[in-house]
Chains A and B, each alone.
Chain A
Amino acid sequence: EDQVTQSPEALRLQEGESSSLNCSYTVSGLRGLFWYRQDPGKGPEFLFTLYSAGEEKEKERLKATLTKKESFLHITAPKPEDSATYLCAVEVRGSTLGRLYFGRGTQLTVWP
């Protein structure tokens, strides 16, 4: 069965303390891996799409990377406004486009 696992479940960082979030996947074939950010009480907001091992994408303090079995979301010198839940999702090769599998998310808190 396809599965997406995110770790840690929760992460507390001091402002400026860099760290990484992990998303590991066990799927039969990856079409794409996606990162989203979700603020409390709101819908998820799209951040990145990654397609193949070795690919990297950056946006402000966030950098997403992909290997054959996992993806990392690196947060460099985070600020309190980076506090949110970060969600990872995959689209599986061989399944219909639009069929997504989400992980349970990492709740990030950045304190001043």
Chain B
Amino acid sequence: EAQVTQNPRYLITVTGKKLTVTCSQNMNHEYMSWYRQDPGLGLRQIYYSMNVEVTDKGDVPEGYKVSRKEKRNFPLILESPSPNQTSLYFCASSLRGGADGYTFGSGTRLTVV
């Protein structure tokens, strides 16, 4: 089944403890992207990647890192999480960017206390 898999689905952590949210797709897609979704603010792009080793900033990149060492994986790294990074996170992938439509993962609900 074609899908985008995020892990974990739920995570509660403490301020300052480094964490990684994994994202993997099995569709050989070129484009991958990370979003956060907050009530009243909608979906905001954090980082996106056009191919292996090619990434760029979105709307809200501060406090986040990404890497794209393999085509299928696009992990999101929070080096020192803070409470304002409590949010619902989505990973997405697409063959040709927006035109094909993105396939989204099921989301990761992160709480930083």
User: Given A43-B90, A98-B31, A98-B48 in contact, is the A104-B40 Cβ separation under 8 Å?
Assistant: yes
From B11-19, B76-84, B92-100, the one touching the partner chain is B92-100
User: Given A42-B107, A45-B104, A97-B50 in contact, is the A31-B42 Cβ separation under 8 Å?
Assistant: no
A98 & B98 in contact (Cβ 8 Å cutoff) = yes
A34 & B92 in contact (Cβ 8 Å cutoff) = no
A100 & B33 in contact (Cβ 8 Å cutoff) = yes
A100 & B98 in contact (Cβ 8 Å cutoff) = yes
Q: B8 near A: Cβ within 8 Å? A: no
Q: Which A residues between 83 and 104 are near B, CB-CB below 8 angstroms?
A: 87, 89, 91, 96-104
Q: Is the interface of B mostly helix, strand, loop or mixed?
A: strand
B50 & A46 in contact (Cβ 8 Å cutoff) = no
User: Given A87-B43, A102-B44 in contact, is the A42-B101 Cβ separation under 8 Å?
Assistant: no
Looking at chain A, what size class is its interface with the partner chain? Answer: 20 to 34
Q: Which residue of A lies closest to B45 (CB)?
A: A100
Looking at chain B, what size class is its interface with the partner chain? Answer: 20 to 34
State the Cβ distance, B50 to closest chain A Cβ, in Å.
6
A32 & B98 in contact (Cβ 8 Å cutoff) = yes
Q: B63 near A: Cβ within 8 Å? A: no
User: Given A87-B42, A98-B31 in contact, is the A31-B98 Cβ separation under 8 Å?
Assistant: yes
Measured between alpha carbons, how far is A99 from B104 in the docked complex, in Å? 15
Q: A78 near B: Cβ within 8 Å? A: no
Chain B, residues 58-71, CB within 8 Å of chain A (1/0): the string is 11000000000000
Q: B103 near A: Cβ within 8 Å? A: yes
Partner of A99, one of B48, B92, B103, B106: B48
User: Given A44-B43, A49-B98, A104-B40 in contact, is the A97-B31 Cβ separation under 8 Å?
Assistant: yes
State the Cβ distance, A37 to closest chain B Cβ, in Å.
11
Partner of B98, one of A41, A44, A87, A89: A89
Chain B residues at the A interface, C-beta cutoff of 8 Å: 4, 31, 33, 35, 40-45, 48-50, 56, 58-59, 90, 92, 94, 96-107
Chain A residues at the B interface, C-beta cutoff of 8 Å: 31-32, 34, 36, 41-47, 49, 87, 89, 91, 96-105
